[in-house]
């Protein structure tokens, strides 16, 4: 976990623009956005398809760099980081929950969740404790020996959430995490992520175009045509 100060925002956009250039054809995905996303909240970026949600998440996740403007993530001006420092910053602070789950098919649910801790060189007893605690948190202790192909879509998503959270990142990002789930499973997964957010007091930011899911949000940022159209705060911080 990073020492991002309690009070500061987890993400700060200052006149951030993103223009894609494909073979000379320019597409302005983000026009010029200036806004903060408070830390330790359950924040949603909402908007129709093509509005710029994925672009914003890729900028926050340091997968892509702004064309102009300044972006701070966990108190760090990420524009100042060079390749290695960027990779290091990302692996220490940020986790992604992928829509396609990205689980390793030959590993069990337990091993998938344990994997990030293996990479960090955490000793076995501590690894076991943290892995089991995470499986418990997402309600998958009984399925721990199942491989991904023996799990439902919702269960796979739970494994993906547990794997993202096991290293206790300061910031968890998910791009339309419920898009491949039926609406009931989607609502369950959102409720679970909210519970886990409160337990771990991490910052969650995810995108959705499903208005049904917005009722769970602490903060809603509505994006339209690459601009911030509206910000609504939910429960008091
Ligand atoms: P959303 O996730 O809200 O559907 P995106 O961020 O994916 O929106 O896309 C925003 C705009 O940027 C769209 O017009 C899209 O076509 C364009 N875009 C996204 N990625 C690229 C890319 N790699 N190259 C060119 N244009 C892109
Ligand atoms: Mg998208």
The pLDDT, as a whole number, for residue 33 is 97
Whether 127 maps to a domain, the answer reads no
Pocket test for ligand 1, best of 20, 59, 174, 208 (most atoms within 8 A of CB): 20
The pLDDT, as a whole number, for residue 198 is 85
Whether 113 maps to a domain, the answer reads no
Asked if residue 45 has its Cβ within 6 Å of ligand 1, the reply is: no
pLDDT of residue 140 exceeding 60: yes
| Calpha distance 180→124 (Å, rounded) | 34
C-alpha atoms less than 13 angstroms from C-alpha of 158 in its C-beta half-sphere: 26
Which CATH number goes with the domain that contains 208? 3.40.50.300
CB atoms within 10 A of CB 198: 11
The pLDDT, as a whole number, for residue 235 is 60
| Calpha distance 128→58 (Å, rounded) | 32
Q: What is the pLDDT of residues 75-97, one digit of tens each?
A: 999 988 888 899 889 988 999 98
Whether 129 maps to a domain, the answer reads no
Domain count for the chain: 1
Whether 143 maps to a domain, the answer reads no
Atom 5 (ligand 1): residue with closest C-alpha? Answer: 52
Ligand nearest to the CA of 176: 2
Whether 84 maps to a domain, the answer reads yes
Whether 124 maps to a domain, the answer reads no
Residues of the domain holding 174: 9-103+169-233
Mean pLDDT of 117-130: 94
55 C-alpha to ligand 1 centroid (Å)? 6
Question: Average per-residue pLDDT in the chain?
Answer: 90
């Amino acid at each position: 976990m990073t020492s991002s100060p309690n009070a500061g925002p987890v993400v700060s956009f200052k006149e951030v623009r993103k223009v894609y250039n494909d073979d000379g054809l320019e597409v302005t995905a983000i026009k010029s956005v200036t806004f903060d996303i408070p830390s330790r909240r359950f924040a949603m970026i909402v908007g129709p398809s093509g509005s710029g949600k994925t672009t914003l998440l890729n900028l926050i996740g340091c997968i892509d760099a702004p064309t102009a403007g300044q972006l701070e993530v966990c108190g760090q001006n990420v524009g100042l980081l060079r390749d290695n420092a960027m990779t290091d910053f990302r692996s220490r602070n940020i986790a992604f929950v992928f829509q396609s789950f990205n689980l390793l098919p030959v590993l069990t649910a337990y091993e998938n969740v344990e994997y990030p801790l293996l990479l960090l060189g955490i000793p076995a007893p501590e690894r076991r404790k943290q892995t089991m605690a995470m499986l418990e948190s997402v309600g998958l202790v009984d399925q721990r020996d199942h491989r991904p192909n023996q799990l439902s879509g919702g269960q796979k998503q739970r494994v993906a959430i547990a794997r993202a959270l096991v290293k206790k990142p300061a910031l968890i990002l998910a791009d339309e995490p419920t898009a491949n789930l039926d609406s009931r499973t989607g609502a369950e997964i959102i409720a679970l992520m909210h519970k886990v957010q409160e337990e771990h007091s991490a910052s969650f930011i995810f995108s959705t175009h499903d208005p049904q899911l917005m009722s769970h949000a602490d903060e809603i940022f509505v994006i339209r045509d690459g601009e911030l159209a509206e910000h609504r705060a939910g429960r008091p911080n």
